[in-house]
Amino acid sequence: MAELDILAAADTLMRRHGIEPGTVRNIISKLREDYGGGQVYVRALDRPARDAEIQRLVEAGVQSSERIAKAAGTSVATVRRRRSAWL
């Protein structure tokens, strides 16, 4: 089961991946200082990463919005919206 405190979950993941405990403490402390006590929305989707993948595929010459959408794990409408924003 996922931890209820997202920062505790982040702490666990960073330590599991070998980040130095002092660095983990500093990061978690800063996040608690900046966001503690407030309700923070965490996106389920990493939009910048998705957009970068779409752009990479477009720049690689992939023409089909359907192929790009499938490769980027998003909808054709999203690919079309992002393309029109860049042109």
Q: Could you read off the pLDDT of 36-65 as tens digits, one per residue? A: 888 888 888 899 999 999 999 999 999 999
Is 41 contained in some domain?
no
Is 71 contained in some domain?
yes
DSSP helix/strand/coil, 82: helix
In terms of domains, do 30 and 52 share one? no
- Domain count of the fold of the chain: 2
Is 72 contained in some domain?
yes
Give residue 2's pLDDT band: very low, low, confident or very high (50, 70, 90).
low
pLDDT at 42: 85
User: Which structural domain, as residue segments, surrounds residue 24?
Assistant: 6-35
H-only helix segments in the chain:
6-16, 21-35, 47-59, 65-72, 76-86
Is 31 contained in some domain?
yes
Phi and psi, residue 14, nearest 5°: -65, -45
Is 25 contained in some domain?
yes
Q: Tell me if the pTM is above 0.75.
A: no
Is 40 contained in some domain?
no
